[in-house]
């Protein structure tokens, strides 16, 4: 949704998700998730994964708290979004749970994300 909201500016944005599941983080699992969520057609969408030790380092670096919830069926993690410019500077951080996945919560979160991406591009353009 955010990719669509960005319009032509989406060509200047790479959306990177970090695998936040210590049980299911392999490429095959992430590809299945992409298909399930209909993300395969979003050309600028990428998933970051690696070994569990590599992921733990990334989680720690970005303040991502991941835990296997009781029963082992669900994974708990905080929802963070960072707008990072081409030079690697964090321009914005959104610490917001997009909610239960309703159309309005998805739209609201996509709007926040889109605005942060646009502001990051504007700030990067004015300071680069």
> pLDDT averaged over the chain?
84
Q: Which of 85, 88, 114 is nearest to 3 (CA)?
A: 114
Is the pLDDT assigned to residue 105 strictly greater than 60?
no
Cα–Cα distances in Å, from 11 out to 39, 80, 85, 128? 16, 22, 14, 19
Q: What is the mean pLDDT of residues 84-95?
A: 84
Q: How far apart are CA 102 and CA 14, in angstroms?
A: 25
Is the pLDDT assigned to residue 43 strictly greater than 60?
yes
Cα–Cα distances in Å, from 21 out to 34, 108, 116? 15, 25, 25
Query: At 112, is the pLDDT very low, low, confident or very high (cuts 50, 70, 90)?
Result: confident
Q: What is the pLDDT of residue 114?
A: 86
Q: How far apart are CA 92 and CA 38, in angstroms?
A: 26
DSSP state of 9: G
Q: Considering the domain 2-123, what is its CATH architecture?
A: 3-Layer(aba) Sandwich (3.40)
SS3 8: helix
Is the pLDDT assigned to residue 56 strictly greater than 60?
yes
Q: What is the mean pLDDT of residues 95-124?
A: 72
Q: What is the pLDDT of residue 128?
A: 42
Is the pLDDT assigned to residue 2 strictly greater than 50?
yes
């Amino acid at each position: 949704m955010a990719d669509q909201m960005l319009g032509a500016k989406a060509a200047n944005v790479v959306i990177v998700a970090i695998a936040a599941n210590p049980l299911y983080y392999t490429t095959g699992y992430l590809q299945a998730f992409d298909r399930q969520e209909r993300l395969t057609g979003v050309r600028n969408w990428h998933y970051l994964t690696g070994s569990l030790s590599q992921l733990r380092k990334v989680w720690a670096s970005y303040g991502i708290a991941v835990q296997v919830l009781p029963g082992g069926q669900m994974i708990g993690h905080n929802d963070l979004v960072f707008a990072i410019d081409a030079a690697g500077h964090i321009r914005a951080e959104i610490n917001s749970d997009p909610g239960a996945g309703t159309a309005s919560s998805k739209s609201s979160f996509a709007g926040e994300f889109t605005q942060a991406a646009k502001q990051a591009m504007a700030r990067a353009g004015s300071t680069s």
